[in-house]
Structure 1
């Protein structure tokens, strides 16, 4: 995101490389959901693909922007230092992948080197392994190819927005090609004191030693420095009344930065008998530091707000290797597409946290709510509970999947994955070591019936697990190390319909159950003993639409309904039936582009969301009369005008939040709430050579 963990806010002039409107808004297939090239219509799962054409038309530059019009997906605040999607009521900081390989470190991902963003809803551990519990987000990277392209981009806008990108693709000869994508951005924000500086470069090489073999390799260096913005506080169940630009805490004292290096390589070969062998490897290393001076609760009189501070340093080295063998064959009348694969991986992680102490050796100070900032000096040192740990995790996985065509109308897909996931965790403060060794069996079964070739009706059942080490491999403790992993079980039925040559609609109904959750023992009157039980259920409907209503009218969007609640008492204040935080019951989105002529076009987008809680619902207590904070619902309108000047040059004006609606986009807690951006203009010039 441009300068903090909110939706984009900066008017911009953008020059982008390559006109990809011929791909449209409608992706027809994916090679990620099943690890085989499969039409979306024949994949028994709710999937949305944000194409390059749509991202360009909406001037998308990051993940949250890309999925803004995808039904059933939202983003939490992430404390201003990371992306935190919420899919089907489940939040995660680690369910990110690139080209099907895990990319689970915490940072803000740029899209300068990305062709498309895929959103998979529902558990998908059979393909992706641990996590992938409510769903996941996969990016498709730009690779070198044999079509010459020379492009560059320049972004200038309000709030001192400055961004430049480049995309150069050059065939060397008939068997080799190189591509280099790069970007640099230096921007401010509508939020006081919030800044962003980031850069990235990603060269790739493609080599065809034979007509049936493709080798690719790439390297990315990415750096992101910004101010961690944790928004505003709340008072008596609602966000405090303040200007949306007001920073709570100390912006200058809240730097966050990440530096990422990643090397990827793949080789794919098709044998004469049709057998396909594919091997992919990704190595990455990340160093991250974040510090925040941020708001807490407002006092009972509504006059002062608490300010606290801490910082955290994290590093992670990751190495993953995947090998797939794909065979197409027939047994009698049944056609098979069989996948057999193996994944090996290891990750080394360190965490070191310090608490901020203000003058007087206190960890919190109160400042006037009318001026909720502080320039008091802060000293950082470890408190008794601050993390100083390291972990080494390894995964060894085997999986098999068969896609069976029983008749031209009836298909079955079934798969099973076995993971051995082991974590060695060390508390460096006391030398204590903990080992967790999980053996996970993740099945998926889907049935597809096609009454006509252009439509499918499907049913799907899948299971995924979240080991006790958590998203970021740092949650192990003596009390939870021996507990079974959390289990996520998904039941889903749906319909997919290619309504026209370039228009697809989808409908999914699902129930997602989260079990093996630590809850209070109902037989214990002291509320101190815990047990594992069914802890959460999400039920809902998702409707999607993408493609062209006519040759001139492109659309993308949908509707989602989610009912996400707790199924047991998980604490003294979070009880059975509690509503989950940051999950609106109803969301409607629709983006349109209409081309009036070969030269002129216009776009209109509508986002409607009903109210939601900032965090999971709690019961009131004597000490907390207002335990729940509601973020009001809103309707936001976006607009655009497009001008095609020539085959290689076009211009566009994007206006976000056209009617300057005041709203709240997301939160991290009841006292960390992000106001939505004001009306924002972008002027873009797109060129390719």
Structure 2
């Protein structure tokens, strides 16, 4: 559908002072026996300190849609508690999720290149991240200072969360008021200029009013990386009226502001064209000892940063306001949640580009004659194009969600149910930073960084720092912006014209129902259904000339009706054990990410007849998950064990069809095994982690178009061949992953923690050199590939350690060492160009105080 549209301070001192003042007003404990009695909050904290297992206890925190204790839930669910997040020294969501096996992270070049992009069971989970059960779609890097726990539901999950959720979903549970009074503060300092301060204060003000505030200030350089730094601060106040009563009203606000020099990592060494090998070949990041095509040998250190301090930046803010009203009618609760959120993000992001072979090189010598010689073209390698990807934008979301959940009996059959409806509106608007008036051949504005020059590296571009030395990059280079790639006039960096911005909108209306039916004490049937009415619109940005002339734009629109369901059967040999089998579906409609991530099935940005035909033919990607497993809560619910075997099948993936048109014939299959553990083995040993094996396969990757050049009177012809991706391992996914965090208490007050984390090799993307030729008679021949290139990052082990000591019941000292062996490893692999490198060894000491 198409319709016309109209033209279009580093440290906030007051945060620390407010936190200190709030702590000061919290009640102090005296020697009075009455005042020394533990409060409900103390009891809750003591339980949290003594046991981290969540399976089977405190089920209400898992959310109203989870209608049974986790041991009776026929899915693989991991609950990452605040204690593990704190002990591991995790300061962001991505750092916390590295402790969960089976989660990898994807890299990109636009939309969300450096924000949270977790892959769950091989599927992109960016659009399936929730905060307190409400979708949180915006591209961002999330903090954990206001996080109580993180819940990871694995397997097709659209019944629970709506669109997307092909591999699972992530739900962040916020810190909200609880009964009792407490105050906790942590202050950390460490290597690489690491500084972090957090505070969490909860108070009952009388008359069943609870108030809680969490705050954070963070400042650090990145260990083992030149020039890279990160600064942020945040605050999360909340208040509950009717705390502990049948009727409750909670208002909460969350604010996060961050500034950083973004780190993209290291370029890949080879391209398909310059890899010296034949057959099945691989390329990894250009790290360590490297010899270029020109015969120059040097060392690329882990510290090598190809960005420019005078150009690159990333600024982001998050506002999130929530109002929740709930009332208990005996065994049934009615809850309504309203939320408004806005995320703003701006960046100029270095993408160390290898696309023209400038890293390894394409020739043994450089040209000395002709135009290439006059330009001083560098073909022998040893340079990295400092390509600048730019973006600014905002995402606004308004959601209202109503849930009715509880229990009832029909004769001898017990029901634990949840019914609900959700309505939301999302809007994302984005543009780019440009040199005003610098246009590409397509009429789009761009930033002067060498994108219009080929080959990328020559005497002039090196002098302008468009190309950096592979072996000795200089982040402090005196880069300046010019009016174009060849102009000598300096120019400011500005935002694109308002009419050049792209806007995405979406509205969703959903209803859902879940029921956990206890047929017999040993047999439970779990059912769930959901219907979503999803309407998505995109208003493409106009070219510079169109925006300057205020020419009318247009809007593309599509509506998808999604129905998903899940069913599971649980057999309980004993009260604390279960065997289960389940089936669940997921649906990812076109434009599901609203341009906030890597959109594999967009609505397009053109209104030509061919583009509108594609728009009309778009399909929803469908996913099905089959799972069997076993769960056990041991040692009086102190230790939770889970084992799951599963298969996930995806159909309708968008690929190129045999007629060189977009078709929805792509298929993918993920098979795997998961084992997880969480809780107390003994009174002095706590463990968290598990092992995941995945067999991720691209069953059908569609086709690739090859062009046979014209010969004589014969015009060029296009022939379709099966995609190089077909039959290969799905990208940005690890076959094997293992995580273990263990905490030992050998003596009263002493805590020794350690972590071991393993991830096997990951693939970023594939390419081959098949070609097509034709004879004078027009007979087309497909020449088989002599080289098939895979971009990979290697396997790695990482080890962490922690030592903690309680000086008094209210004061604890601890030291964390992360990446204990100073391992050089990579965490993300993009389809091409680059891989993200992990920080080196770092250490920080923390003093924790609680009242």
The two structures have a TM-score, normalised by structure 1, of 0.92
Distance 1:49 1:345, change over 3 A: same
Give the equivalent residue in structure 1 for 2:743: 593
Question: CA-to-partner distance for each residue in 1:513-538, whole Å, 9 max, x for gaps?
Answer: 1211122324x4xxx23321142111
CA contact (8 A) 2:67 2:516 kept: no
Question: Is 1:455 the counterpart of 2:577 in the alignment?
Answer: yes
Q: Distance in 1 between matches of 2:116 and 2:157?
A: 20
- Taking the TM superposition and a 5 Å limit, the aligned residue runs for 1:257-272 are 257-272=315-330
Q: Distance in 2 between matches of 1:625 and 1:400?
A: 52
Give the equivalent residue in structure 2 for 1:9: none
| CA apart distance, 1:481 | 3.1
* Greater share of residues in strand: 1
| CA apart distance, 1:118 | 0.9
Question: CA-to-partner distance for each residue in 1:395-422, whole Å, 9 max, x for gaps?
Answer: 1111112110000010011111111000
- Taking the TM superposition and a 5 Å limit, the aligned residue runs for 1:195-274 are 195-208=229-242, 211-236=245-270, 237-241=283-287, 242-272=300-330, 274=331
Question: Is 1:51 the counterpart of 2:81 in the alignment?
Answer: yes
| CA apart distance, 1:544 | 0.2
User: Which consecutive unaligned segments of at least 5 residues does structure 1 have?
Assistant: 1-14
Question: CA-to-partner distance for each residue in 1:429-471, whole Å, 9 max, x for gaps?
Answer: 1612111101000111111111111111111111111111132
Question: Is 1:488 the counterpart of 2:623 in the alignment?
Answer: yes
User: Which is worse superposed, 326-335 or 200-209?
Assistant: 326-335
| CA apart distance, 1:203 | 0.7
- Taking the TM superposition and a 5 Å limit, the aligned residue runs for 1:378-457 are 378=481, 388-429=501-542, 431-457=553-579
Question: Is 1:603 the counterpart of 2:789 in the alignment?
Answer: no
| CA apart distance, 1:184 | 1.4
Question: CA-to-partner distance for each residue in 1:466-520, whole Å, 9 max, x for gaps?
Answer: 1111323563214553311111111111111112220011011111112111223
| CA apart distance, 1:36 | 4.3
Give the equivalent residue in structure 1 for 2:812: 650
Q: 2:351 aligns with which of 272, 282, 294?
A: 294
Question: Is 1:75 the counterpart of 2:105 in the alignment?
Answer: yes
Give the equivalent residue in structure 2 for 1:129: 162
Q: Distance in 1 between matches of 2:242 and 2:517?
A: 31
Distance 1:217 1:624, change over 3 A: farther
User: Which is worse superposed, 122-131 or 249-258?
Assistant: 249-258
- Taking the TM superposition and a 5 Å limit, the aligned residue runs for 1:18-29 are 21-22=48-49, 24-29=51-56
Distance 1:396 1:23, change over 3 A: farther
Q: Distance in 2 between matches of 1:180 and 1:624?
A: 62
Give the equivalent residue in structure 2 for 1:567: 699
Partner SS for 2:766: coil
- Taking the TM superposition and a 5 Å limit, the aligned residue runs for 1:100-119 are 100-119=133-152
Q: Distance in 2 between matches of 1:646 and 1:296?
A: 54
Q: Distance in 2 between matches of 1:147 and 1:115?
A: 16
Question: Is 1:619 the counterpart of 2:768 in the alignment?
Answer: yes
Q: 1:62 aligns with which of 73, 82, 92?
A: 92
RMSD in angstroms over aligned alpha carbons?
2.5
Question: CA-to-partner distance for each residue in 1:11-70, whole Å, 9 max, x for gaps?
Answer: xxxx9x996653522112544466246311011111111111112211222111212121
CA contact (8 A) 2:419 2:513 kept: yes
Give the equivalent residue in structure 2 for 1:664: 826
CA contact (8 A) 1:578 1:618 kept: no
Give the equivalent residue in structure 2 for 1:313: 392
Distance 1:344 1:659, change over 3 A: same
Distance 1:23 1:439, change over 3 A: farther
CA contact (8 A) 2:68 2:416 kept: no
CA contact (8 A) 1:253 1:293 kept: no
| CA apart distance, 1:381 | 7.6
| CA apart distance, 1:170 | 1.4
Question: Is 1:176 the counterpart of 2:209 in the alignment?
Answer: yes
User: Which is worse superposed, 32-41 or 327-336?
Assistant: 32-41
Q: 1:358 aligns with which of 442, 449, 459?
A: 449
| CA apart distance, 1:666 | 1.9
| CA apart distance, 1:558 | 0.6
| CA apart distance, 1:338 | 2.5
Partner SS for 2:830: strand
Distance 1:563 1:178, change over 3 A: same
Question: Is 1:638 the counterpart of 2:766 in the alignment?
Answer: no
Give the equivalent residue in structure 2 for 1:192: 226
Q: 1:276 aligns with which of 303, 320, 333?
A: 333
Partner SS for 1:498: strand
User: Which is worse superposed, 93-102 or 403-412?
Assistant: 93-102
Give the equivalent residue in structure 2 for 1:324: 403
CA contact (8 A) 1:515 1:536 kept: yes
| CA apart distance, 1:361 | 5.7
Distance 1:92 1:78, change over 3 A: farther
* Greater share of residues in helix: 2
Partner SS for 2:84: helix
CA contact (8 A) 1:579 1:616 kept: no
CA contact (8 A) 1:468 1:481 kept: no
Q: Distance in 2 between matches of 1:470 and 1:251?
A: 34
Q: Distance in 1 between matches of 2:453 and 2:703?
A: 28
Question: CA-to-partner distance for each residue in 1:283-334, whole Å, 9 max, x for gaps?
Answer: 1112211111321102334422222113111112111111111242222221
Q: 1:367 aligns with which of 454, 468, 475?
A: 468
CA contact (8 A) 1:665 1:676 kept: yes
CA contact (8 A) 2:99 2:757 kept: yes
CA contact (8 A) 2:257 2:317 kept: yes
CA contact (8 A) 1:256 1:289 kept: yes
Question: CA-to-partner distance for each residue in 1:88-143, whole Å, 9 max, x for gaps?
Answer: 11123222111111111111111111111111111211121111221121111111
Distance 1:214 1:33, change over 3 A: closer
CA contact (8 A) 2:817 2:842 kept: yes
Partner SS for 2:768: coil
